[in-house]
Structure 1
C-alpha cells in the first residue's frame, strides 16, 4: 500500500472527526459510543494533524524576511519600506498555523467531552429534549419568579428529562440551564491628550446562568423559600430558627400555609441543602409545581480521565457506571421534602 501524503493524512483525519460528530448526534445507547471508540482504535494512528507544510511555509517566510531586511539595510533595495514590513509574512504564516492548531485541538476536545457527557446522561437515565428555549422560559416565567431575570435575553440552553425512583416517592423531573442577559448603559469620559474631554456611552451585556430542577409537587402551593434575590409574596413567615432566617425568606399566600410548611424537619433539611448548593430558591406555584433553582453548574458534570488518544482505556471508562452524586443528593432532598410535607397539606 502506498504511503499517504500529508494532505491525505489530514483529510482522512478530518473525515473521521466529521463522522464522529454525526454518530454522536444520533447515539442513543452506550454501545453506540463504544462503536465510535472502536472506530478510532482502528484508525491506526494518533488523532493529530500534520502541520509540516505550515512549518515549512513559516521557515521560508522567515528566511525571505531576513533576506529582504538585509538587502534593504545594505542598500540593494531602495524602496522606502519601514523595517517592520518584513515581519508581516512570517507573522501571518505563524498566525494561520496557530489558528489551525487551536481550532482542530478544540474540535477534538469538544468531541471527547460530548461523548463522555452523553455517556454520563445515559448512565443516569437522563434524556435531553429539544425545546424552544425562549418560549419555554416565557411559559415558566409566568409561574416562577426565578425565570423573570434578565432585561435583554432569557432562554433555556438545556432541558433534560430524568426519572427518580425513591423508597417512598418517585417522580419525573426536568433539569434545566437558564441563560439570561442584562443590558445596561455605561457612561465614561475620554481625553484627546490636549486637555479636552468628551462624555461617551456604550452598551454592556452581562451574561448569567441559573440551574435548576422542576417537577410536580402536589403537597404545597403558592409558597416561596428565597435564598437568592426573589421578590416576596404578600405574607412572610419567620420560623424559630435564626440560622434559617439568616439564609432564607419564606412567603406564602397565607401565614398558616408557611407555618405548616416550615416544620423543624423541613427547616433542618433546607439548611443541610445549603451545604451542597449555593443561592438556593424554592418556588411552589398554584398548580402544584416545584422549581428548585441554584447557582451550581456541576450537577451533571464529571471529570473524564481518558480521551481519543487512548481509545481502549476511554472505552473501559465508558463501560463503568458514572454516578452523579450531587444530582442524586439533590433528588433525595426533594423526596425528603415530599415525605415531610405530604401529610401537612392534605
Structure 2
C-alpha cells in the first residue's frame, strides 16, 4: 500500500476510503455488515473518479529524461561511466516510483470493486465463509474421499463456504471448497562441465494444481463413483451404460453391477452427459457414509459475473442492490437434486 501523502485532494481521500473498505469487506460475514460498508461508500463526500493524468505525465517525463540524459552521458566517451550509471539508477528509481504511483489507485479501485461485488454475490447465493485450517481440513477430507489423495508434496484447502439448497423434493446443506495440491518430482539432466566431461545432476520441481467441488450428505448411495477425471485408487469400471457419449467421458464404479445399473438409469446418464457441458473433469464420489463429493476443475462457480467499477458509481450501486446469480453453481446443484429425485430409495 502506497502512502497517501503521494496523492492530493480527492485522490487522497478516495484512496484512504478504498483501503478502509477493503479491510471491512474481508471481515464482513452478513448482509447487515456488508450494507454498513456500502453505506460508507455511498456517503463519501467527494467524487468517485480517480484523476491520475498528472502522475502518468510525470512518469513519461522521467522516463524520457532518464533515457536522454543517460544516452547523452554515455555518448561523451562511448561507454558507461560512473555518472551514466548514477543517472540510470536515480532516474530509473524515480520513474518506477512515478509509474507505481500512477497505477496503484486504479489497481486498488478495481480490487475493492471486485471484492464488494464478490461478497455481495456470495450473500445473494446464501454462501457464508467457514473458519478452517487449510492443511488440517484437507487431511480430514482425504480421510473421507479419494478425491483428496492427490499431491505427493502438499495438500491444502484454500477456500471453504457453506451454503444451502432448496429443491422441490430435496433440500440440503453443502460446502463449496477450493483444493490446492502440489506434486514434487525429481528431474535428472545431463550437462557438460568446463573440462568437457559429461555429467548428470538432479533438481526438484513442483507442479501446482487446483480442484474445486461440493460436499454434502447424499444418503441414497454408498461407495459409488462416476469418474470423469483421474481418481487415485479408483480401479476398473464396474458398469457401462449403453450411451457411447457417456462412456467416452465417464466410467462407473460401484459395489456391484446390479447397484450400478439401478443407479445409472437412462435419465441419470443423460443428466451426467449434460453436466459435462457445464463442468470439466468431473468426479461424482459417494463414500461409505453416503456423503457426496462432486469435484471439478472449474474455478468460476462462485465468481461474480459483474465487471462494473466503483468509478461507474450509479451502475456499481445498481449491481450491488440487484440479485446476482451464480449460474454454474445453480446448474450444478440442480444436477445433484435431479439425480437424487431419480434414484431408487432402496440402496
| TM-score, length of structure 2 as denominator length | 0.85
The Cα shift of 1:132 comes to 0.9
Question: CA distance change for structure 1 residues 39 and 181 in 2, over 3 Å: closer, same or farther?
Answer: farther
Kindly report which structure 2 residues correspond to 1:184-333, keeping only aligned pairs within 5 A, or say none.
184-191=185-192, 195=196, 197-230=198-231, 231-232=233-234, 236-333=238-335
CA distance in 2, matches of 1:58, 1:239: 65
1:277-332 CA-to-partner distances (Å, cap 9, x unmatched) read 11111111111100011111111123324212122220011111111121111111
Q: Is the 8 A contact 1:235 1:254 kept in 2?
A: no
Q: Is the 8 A contact 1:261 1:344 kept in 2?
A: no
Question: CA distance change for structure 1 residues 39 and 72 in 2, over 3 Å: closer, same or farther?
Answer: same
Question: CA distance change for structure 1 residues 101 and 145 in 2, over 3 Å: closer, same or farther?
Answer: farther
Q: Is the 8 A contact 1:235 1:255 kept in 2?
A: no
1:66-93 CA-to-partner distances (Å, cap 9, x unmatched) read 5676567658xxx964856643322222
CA distance in 1, matches of 2:284, 2:182: 22
CA distance in 1, matches of 2:183, 2:277: 29
The Cα shift of 1:103 comes to 4.4
CA distance in 2, matches of 1:67, 1:264: 76
1:336 aligns with 2:344: no
| Structure-2 residue corresponding to 1:134 | 135
Q: Is the 8 A contact 1:215 1:290 kept in 2?
A: yes
Which of 66-75 and 247-256 deviates more? 66-75
RMSD: 3.2
Q: Is the 8 A contact 1:234 1:252 kept in 2?
A: no
The Cα shift of 1:183 comes to 1.3
CA distance in 1, matches of 2:112, 2:290: 40
Unaligned runs of 5+ in 1: none
The DSSP-based 3-state class of the residue aligned with 1:199 is: strand
Q: Is the 8 A contact 1:13 1:49 kept in 2?
A: no
CA distance in 2, matches of 1:58, 1:243: 58
Q: Structure 1: which 4+ aligned runs deviate by more than 6 Å?
A: none
CA distance in 1, matches of 2:274, 2:209: 26
Unaligned runs of 5+ in 2: none
1:44 aligns with 2:37: no
